[in-house]
Amino acid sequence: MHLRVLKEKEKKGLIDLAFYLFNLDGEFDEHEQNFISIYSHATMMNLSAYLPQKQSLQQIYLQYKDSSVIVKESIYYELVFLTYRNHIPTEKELKFLENLRLEWDINEEKHKKALLDIKEMQSIQSKKQVNGENLQ
């Protein structure tokens, strides 16, 4: 699913969830800021017009109360990718994903599929790095 087809509140919700995830460790580093910019571009949201703010998860979940299963699964997949991207997730990050999975009633098989996709993508990227190929 292309992120730009999300409704405005779903786009804001994605930015808010990513921001929440990135702030679990109390830091918001340059790498994490870069991903927020990528999501801003992918959703066609202007971050100067919308800046994520610290909110409770329940407040963020409200932005998805009328969203379809497909939208929730797509957002969940994106967040699983962010969580496992180039590092081993912390306990807080894993708990965040599990809470989101349960809140949105995403079955365990979809979670396992997302993890397999990420491992496959990381394997491909590792092979490209070994071969000296450009990863962009």
| pTM metric for this prediction | 0.82
Report residue 104: phi and psi, to 5°.
Answer: -95, 5
Q: What is the pLDDT of residue 32?
A: 78
Q: Where are the domains of the chain?
A: 3-130
Identify which of 70, 87, 73, 71 has the alpha carbon closest to the alpha carbon of residue 35. Answer: 87
Query: From the DSSP assignment, how many helices (H) and strands (E) are in the chain?
Result: 6, 0
> What is the mean predicted confidence (pLDDT) over 33-50?
77
Cα 119 to Cα 1: distance, rounded to the nearest angstrom = 20
Query: pLDDT above 70 covers what percent of the chain?
Result: 93
Residues whose CB falls within 8 Å of the CB of residue 125, separated by 6 or more in sequence, listed in order: 135
Residues whose CB falls within 8 Å of the CB of residue 79, separated by 6 or more in sequence, listed in order: 17, 18, 21, 97, 100
Tell whether the model's pLDDT for residue 108 goes beyond 80: yes
Tell whether the model's pLDDT for residue 136 goes beyond 70: no
Cα 55 to Cα 60: distance, rounded to the nearest angstrom = 7
Cα 47 to Cα 40: distance, rounded to the nearest angstrom = 6
Q: What is the pLDDT of residue 7?
A: 92
> What is the mean predicted confidence (pLDDT) over 20-47?
80
